[in-house]
Chains A and B, each alone.
Chain A
Amino acid sequence: MLFNSWEFLVLLVATFALYYAPWSRGAHGKAWQVTLALVASVIFYGWEDPKLIGLLAVSCVGNSLATGRIILHKVSGNEAKVRKWMQLAVVMNLALLGVFKYLPFLAGLIPFLPPSWVEAAKDIPLPIGISFYTFHGISMIVDVARGEVTREGDALMSKGGRFAKGVRDIGFYLLFFPQLVAGPIVKAKEFWPQIAAKRLEDIPWHQVVRALITGYFLKVFVADNLSEQTAGLTLGPETLISSGPLNLVPLLYGYSLQIFADFAGYSLIAIGLAAMFGYRFPINFNFPYLSTSITEFWRRWHMSLSAWLRDYLYIPLGGNRKGPGRTYVNLFLVMFLGGLWHGAEWKFALWGSLHGLLLALERLAGRRQRTKSAESKPKAGLLTLLRTCCAWFFTFHAVTLLWLTFLMPDMTSIVAFFKGVLSGRMGFSGPPIFSLCFYGTAVILYHAWGWLKEHRELLANKLLRSPLEPILHGVMLFLIFTNPGAPRGFIYFQF
């Protein structure tokens, strides 16, 4: 089910009304609300294809039971059993991901496999959001085993003294519908302490409205409208080669803005919806196109995934503690795997590898820079500004260029894109450029607001208190109603 569908609106209204029904204030308020949200989450997930619920149930029940066991052993100090359960649960998660996401890819790589086996592997359906909920599960298991949430876990399990209730609450954490399919990947230590009975009067309505209006605006007005034009980049190599730079380059910029609006919009909607049900989610995007380096970009883009990769891959691999050479290798490896996390295809591996390479190069350049700046202080003023602008320009264009691997169906199309750009044909058609200006402006203004918040905090706060915010929200709401794009799924749902 999509956040921008009528079915979802009906489900949301019904769930919200029942969630805060008068009986939710009684002694069993928490049990009612958690169970209801769990049921709503299962309906949300299984709406298009109920068969997928089976796999989700295996993942959820397996992770919840294992977590419950790990907490109990952790509290009793039995570390051997903690390790055993952790290994079991991580293997289960990786096995699910391996079979449903990577088996078709791996089967194609093995030369001696019978063709019928390869075909059978390719027929395995890719369950929506599997990467998100397995990563979610792994992070929970590892955090619990590391003892990072022992206190919260113990509180969860011992409330009412029933193991089953604790498992139910853990299941709720894994399945809660706002973050089920595409994140943000919320950590157990952030979420578990929030599991309690919620009251209608505690809803932070201003935050809810702000997140929902901005999220739906980015998704429905910006991303969905841009997607009709950027679909022109997927018409096949012949079309791309016969096109010219004036058509292709605006579409690439358009896609860069579209993918941001699509995913940041989704994350904001998830944050707003969670707040409606009394839960706080961390922000997932912090104006990423303001970044002046790839390193900074990854601190601002899909922050929950970056944090996941850092905490559960980069640091366990040794991080930057084993010397510069190993740091570069680790950065590259983490981004390569991060690329493959997005999809079992070489184009995603290429995307991740190139990001990893750029991160490593930046780290190398940063070391040299630090050595130099230890000798001479950097000069402030025009030169610094110019340097920042160049860094921003490079970062934005590097990121934008690498999105090609996301959009294009295969490597042939990527090559065809560059052939088209270098063809020298100067004809162009109006709609892509019009769309880029009309819808892209919204993303630029959104980032301008981000810049203001970071660099002119006083002015930003003053503007927030002025009538400008409700006026802007009014205009955004108007555009959501009157100027939506053709309803489309979220780009990150495929991962």
Chain B
Amino acid sequence: MRYFTILMLTLAACFGVQALALRTAGGRTAKSESNYFSSLGRIQAGTVGKADVMLLGSSITGRLPDRSQAFDGFANMGCDGGSAVDALRAMDQGILPVAPILVIEANTVHLAMQRKPSEVGAAMERPWFQAGMRVPAISAYARPSAFAYSKLLARKTGGFGDPTADDDLRITDRPKRLASPNPEPLAAYEQALVDELIPLLHRLQNRGCRTVFVLLPPGRQPGTPLPAWLTTLVTESNSEWWDLATGVDPSLIVLTDHVHMSAPSAARTVRTLKKGLRPSL
């Protein structure tokens, strides 16, 4: 009896400490040592409460600050090693809630063409993932290892700065509709993805979502045109397009490993997003 009493008290104390730590961290941890749990954690945290903008994409998106770093209204649901497509599919199936604005990272949508079974996509259908969306204590964003790893990472990468500071990417370009591309035959795997995503995005728009494809830094290779399948996808799905990479002053974008933005650059990007998406916010 004594054994079970002490065990239960310890368990309660551990959950208490975890709840406090979660509160101190702004509602979610930034990153886990595991790409898999980092992705699931961001997606689970993104479904808590109501967000105005959901950022969907890969680890490039994953580096962007959100409401847990006081960038109010934004929920970062980036999926390390994946793309926005897993989250879009889950939203379409009703597994995940939606936000008024869905920012879809254009850099990595092509990864969904690989047709490899996505571990994150499969996990979202599991009961434990859905339980974690409702009970923060057992969610992937409240893992004790993630608290430790986020703390170590924060010391290395530094903070995101003041969310309200007047420091953005200084671009005048805003989300816009693209002109329909010249009809061009697409490869079968491109066509398959386009055919899947166009009706999916229409269904989400019918549920009140504004869908914006955003090309985040580092963007495309200079001089590379937008692929025809992507232009087709954006135009035929009635989505908007916004290029945040081309023409940006290079001094404002610092990449830590040729792919991912440093914390100040990521903060500038979200401030730019906030300004550019304002009409609907």
Interface residues of A (CB under 8 A from B): 6, 206, 225, 228-229, 430-431, 434-435, 438-439, 467, 469-471, 473-475, 477-479, 481-483, 485-486
Contacts and interface: CB of A to CB of B under 8 A. Distances in A.
A63 to B, nearest CB: 38
A434 B33 contact: yes
B34 A228 contact: yes
Given A478-B15, A482-B18, A482-B143, A206 B10 contact: no
26 contacts: A225-B34, A225-B145, A228-B35, A430-B152, A430-B153, A431-B33, A431-B34, A435-B34, A438-B33, A469-B3, A470-B3, A470-B4, A470-B7, A474-B7, A474-B9, A475-B10, A475-B14, A478-B15, A479-B144, A481-B137, A482-B18, A482-B142, A483-B144, A483-B145, A486-B34, A486-B119
Contact of A473 (B7, B18, B35): B7
Nearest to A224: B34
A479 B10 CA distance: 12
B33 A474 contact: no
A479 B145 CA distance: 9
Contact of A474 (B8, B34, B36): B8
Contacts of B158: none
A24 B138 CA distance: 38
Contacts of A477: 7, 11
Nearest to B13: A474
A485 B33 CA distance: 11
Query: Which of A430, A469, A478, A479 is the most central at the interface, judged by chain B CB atoms within 10 Å of its CB?
Result: A478
A434 B266 CA distance: 24
A486 B6 CA distance: 29
Which label, helix, strand, loop or mixed, suits the secondary structure of the A interface?
helix
Interface size class on chain B is: 20 to 34
A118 B148 CA distance: 52
B149 interface: yes
B137 A482 contact: yes
Query: Quick one: which of B14, B15, B37, B152 has the most chain A CB within 10 A?
Result: B14
Nearest to B156: A430
B33 A435 contact: yes
Contacts of A6: 127-128
B7 A434 contact: no
Contacts of B137: 481-482
B189 to A, nearest CB: 24
Given A438-B33, A478-B10, 5 more contacts: A467-B6, A470-B2, A470-B7, A471-B6, A474-B13
Interface string B25-64: 0000000011111000000000000000000000000000
A470 B33 contact: no
Contact of B10 (A228, A431, A434, A474): A474
A457 to B, nearest CB: 21
A470 B10 contact: yes
Contact of A478 (B14, B36, B145, B149): B14
Nearest to B14: A478
B221 to A, nearest CB: 23
A485 B37 CA distance: 8
A299 B13 CA distance: 40
Contacts of A482: 18, 137-138, 142-144
Contacts of A479: 144
Nearest to A479: B144
Contacts of A486: 34, 36-37, 119, 123
A474 B3 CA distance: 10
A487 to B, nearest CB: 9
A434 B149 contact: yes
Given A225-B34, A228-B34, A482-B138, A438 B10 contact: no
Contacts of A471: 6-7, 10
Nearest to B15: A478
A486 B128 CA distance: 11
